[in-house]
Amino acid sequence: MTNAETAWPQASERDEDKRYFAARARWHEERAEVAVDSSTRTLHLRFARMYHTRAQ
């Protein structure tokens, strides 16, 4: 591996990732609100929690 492959992402890239993960969390929360069954709702809420965690 080269140094470029192992380098930490720049702050702006991390901020962009956080915004993406936060947006995905919101999308899953919205989908959970309109889910027609409990298993789909639970799945979307699990993904929302995962994305919220990644966004921090």
The pLDDT value given to residue 3: 59
35 Cβ contact partners less than 8 Å away, ≥ 6 residues apart: 41, 44
Contact 32, 50 (CB under 8 A): no
The pLDDT value given to residue 15: 87
Kindly list the averaged pLDDT for each block of 10 residues, start to end, along the chain of length 56. 60 86 97 97 98 95
Sign (positive/negative) of CA torsion 18, 19, 20, 25? positive
CA distance 36 to 19: 28
CA distance 21 to 56: 9
